[in-house]
Amino acid sequence: MLAGGILVITRRNPVHSALALIVTLLAQASIYLMLYAPFVAGVQIILYAGGIMVLFLFVIMLVSVDRSMRERQFNSQWVIGVIAATALGGLFIAVYTKGTSLFPDHASPVLEGDNTQRIATMLYGQYMFAFEIASLLLLVAIIGAVVMAKKRI
Amino acid sequence: MNLVVQYIESYLGSNQTPGAAGNMFWVLVYILLVFTGISLGVIAMNWLERKILAHMQVRLGPMRVGPHGLLQPFADALKLLLKEDIIPAEADSAIFWTAPFMVVLAAFTTFVVVPFGPTHAITDMNIGILFMLGVSSLSVLGIVMAGWASNSHYPLMGALRSSAQMVSYEVAMGMAVVTVILMTSLNAAGTGTLSMIGIVQAQLAQGEWFIFKFFPLGLIAFFIFAVAMVAETNRAPFDLAEAESELTAGFHTEYSGFRWSLFFLAEYGAMMAASSIAVTLWLGGWLRPFPNWLGGARWDDFFSFFPGVVVLFLAGMCFFNTARMPKHSYFRIQTIGLGVFGALLGVVALILFIPGVRVRVQDIFWFAAKVAGFMYLYIWYRGTFPRYRFDQLMKMGWKVLLPMGLGVLILTAGVALFQQNLWHP
């Protein structure tokens, strides 16, 4: 996963970066598997690696790569970037060394076989409102994309 | 040494898949068996496709290479292996090399969860059907990579069209699959299952193959999936992306020799994987016809004769055609070859009649027979339907199949609720 992540930001060719991102997302799916969450891993592969990355690749291929590869790369905010990355890294290290005592209601890992049922019960029971709001958000995004892309309504 | 033998034998007679039992040796054996099975299937499909298409078009197909062209797939494989491996000059060689590998990986990994019997799967994941859908969507990435890496406009257009088509029909496939998952939850506990073996066992427990459930909803869902799976695998009539008259072989134009044969292998492998999904979800997987209505030991025994009888029938056809061969000295080798092939089939049929083998082979035979039926349907569609134009194709995916899928899903949910009397206002 780390190798994939580093390759994403260091390759010159954007298609290579997109493929490294696919490798990173597949590694992410396997991390979900190791955390006893097979449903999330499966959905990650279907949607992220198999759907969203295909659309990424469409856009990258339809935008002319040669011209963008020859443009001069510049970044005038690298100082802020380094400070933010250091802060984030410090946060990660602090959480890691503190251990699980930071999360008071840390539950024991549940049986893997139950994962899909438990997600379904919680999603459609307790968090139904959030589910509906998220679907409304997606609908707004779809309508926005269609409106921006159409030549005439 | 004793420990090793003990470990190997510890799995025999178990009632779990090797993956669930954690026995790595048998997992490897099953993987090898499945791989061999798929490869034999691809070889048979190559010959069958050319012969059946030819007979549908009132011509004979390959007749020269072996008796009735039976050795044609081997000749093709040999030719492809010996061809020069060309990589286009400006092509991105890392991606060019990886693309067929990716497509084959996606096509073959889906077979990890395909159930050939109640314990005859490599493993039985809790998210079996989700895993199969996900991994088969990775083949889209391989096709896009192949089109891009060839650095030529025909493959790029073909790849982009093909991947747009595959992504669109994946949505319709998903709707049909969710309808079936809903039907699995109509048991006493009220919980469904995503595992492939669980879905077939739900059909056994409910006494009805899901294609007939809530007639006609199961049938419409099956129809949606059947159309979507043909579009998913880029086969006729949805093969605009690789049509010879339109795009000179589309995304695999620049691939020659062994790399092309990998795409070919992956295409037929994906066809078999999609047919396996359709058979498991709608047609009762490994169940013989009428498992509940004509149940009991005597009917089990009766139906267990079918594998041997079918192979005996094939052997009989071989002998019949041996007798029909032209009586010319040039045809002597072919006649002898066909006779030997018929004799081999007869030996296999006799092995299949042994009682011990009969019981074990039954599940695998019915599963394979149903998948073979789907393969024949694929070839039939290719010989019958004209090609869809790309905009018609996309229109059908989004404007026809998706609303139908949504409608079937909502209606199935309504009927299932009504049946379970779970309507709590």
Chain B residues in contact with A57 by the CB 8 A cut-off are 141, 144-145, 148, 163
Instruction: List the structure tokens of A11.
Output: 């390759």
Q: How confident is the model at residue B45 (pLDDT cuts 50, 70, 90)?
A: very high
CATH number attached to the domain at A1-68: 1.20.120.1200
Instruction: List the structure tokens of B35.
Output: 């791989």
Q: How confident is the model at residue B362 (pLDDT cuts 50, 70, 90)?
A: confident
Query: Which of B130, B164, B191 is the closest to A46 by Cβ?
Result: B130
Query: Which of B131, B164, B170 is the closest to A42 by Cβ?
Result: B131
> Considering only alpha carbons, which residue of chain A is nearest residue B124?
A113
B176, B404 Cβ separation under 8 angstroms: no
Contacts for B148 with CB less than 8 Å, ≥ 6 apart: A15, A57, A61, B92, B95, B156, B159
- Do residue A116 and residue B167 have CB atoms under 8 angstroms apart? no
Where are the domains positioned within chain A?
A: 1-68, 113-153
Min Cα distance B291 → chain A (Å) is 28
Q: What is the dihedral of CA A71, A77, A81, A84, to 10 degrees?
A: -150
Min Cα distance A61 → chain B (Å) is 7
Q: Which amino acid is at B363?
A: D
pTM to 2 decimal places: 0.87
Min Cα distance A105 → chain B (Å) is 27
**% of chain B at pLDDT higher than 70:** 93
Q: Which residue out of A40, A48, A116 would a mutagenesis test of the B interface target, given it has the greatest number of B Cβ atoms within 10 Å? A: A116
Min Cα distance A73 → chain B (Å) is 22
Instruction: List the structure tokens of B205.
Output: 């427990």
What pLDDT sits at residue B177? 93
Residue A132, Cβ density class (10 Å: 0-12 exposed, 13-18 middle, ≥19 buried): exposed
pLDDT in tens, B250-259: 666 777 778 8
Q: How confident is the model at residue B425 (pLDDT cuts 50, 70, 90)?
A: very low
- Do residue B141 and residue A51 have CB atoms under 8 angstroms apart? no
Min Cα distance B381 → chain A (Å) is 27
Ranges of residues in chain A with a pLDDT under 70 are: 64-70, 73, 100-113, 152-153
- Do residue B125 and residue A38 have CB atoms under 8 angstroms apart? yes
Chain A residues in contact with B134 by the CB 8 A cut-off are 42-43, 45-46, 49-50
Residue B354 has pLDDT above 90, yes or no: no
Region B364-393: mean pLDDT is 90
Instruction: List the structure tokens of A56.
Output: 């990424």
Tell me the residues of B at the A interface, defined by beta carbons under 8 Å apart. 92, 94-95, 98, 125-127, 130-131, 133-135, 137-138, 140-141, 144-145, 148, 156, 160, 163-164, 167, 170, 191, 194
Chain B residues in contact with A49 by the CB 8 A cut-off are 134, 137-138, 141
Separation between Cα atoms, residue B212 and residue B254, nearest integer Å: 45
What pLDDT sits at residue B299? 82
Instruction: Report how many Cβ contacts below 8 Å link chain A to chain B.
Output: 73
Least confident of A43-47, B158-162, B197-201: B158-162
Q: Give the angle subtended at the CA of B302 by the CAs of B297 and B305, to the nearest 5°.
A: 125
Q: Give the angle subtended at the CA of A12 by the CAs of A10 and A13, to the nearest 5°.
A: 120
Separation between Cα atoms, residue B303 and residue B295, nearest integer Å: 10
Of B298 and B225, the structure prediction assigns the larger pLDDT to B225
Question: What is the number of residues in chain A?
Answer: 153
Question: What is the number of residues in chain B?
Answer: 425
Contacts for B423 with CB less than 8 Å, ≥ 6 apart: B417
pLDDT in tens, B247-286: 566 666 777 778 888 988 999 999 999 999 999 999 988 8
Distances (CA, A) of B209 to B132, B215, B228, B369: 21, 11, 20, 16
Query: Which of A19, A39, A117 is the closest to B191 by Cβ?
Result: A117
What pLDDT sits at residue B424? 45
Q: How confident is the model at residue B13 (pLDDT cuts 50, 70, 90)?
A: low
Query: Which of A22, A46, A116 is the closest to B126 by Cβ?
Result: A116
A37, A115 Cβ separation under 8 angstroms: yes
Least confident of A74-88, B93-107, B349-363: B349-363
Separation between Cα atoms, residue B103 and residue B149, nearest integer Å: 14
Residue A112: HSE in the Cβ half-sphere, 13 Å Cα cutoff: 14
Min Cα distance A50 → chain B (Å) is 5
Residue B244 has pLDDT above 60, yes or no: no
Chain A residues in contact with B133 by the CB 8 A cut-off are 46
Residue B363 has pLDDT above 60, yes or no: yes
What pLDDT sits at residue A132? 93
Chain A residues in contact with B125 by the CB 8 A cut-off are 38
Min Cα distance A106 → chain B (Å) is 25
Query: Which of B98, B137, B164 is the closest to A46 by Cβ?
Result: B137
Chain B residues in contact with A61 by the CB 8 A cut-off are 144, 148, 156, 160
Residue B118: HSE in the Cβ half-sphere, 13 Å Cα cutoff: 12
A2, A21 Cβ separation under 8 angstroms: no
Of B88 and B169, the structure prediction assigns the larger pLDDT to B169
A135 Cα distance to chain centroid: 18
What pLDDT sits at residue B246? 58
Residue B138 has pLDDT above 60, yes or no: yes
Region B359-374: mean pLDDT is 88
B138, A46 Cβ separation under 8 angstroms: no
Q: Which residue out of A11, A17, A19 would a mutagenesis test of the B interface target, given it has the greatest number of B Cβ atoms within 10 Å? A: A19
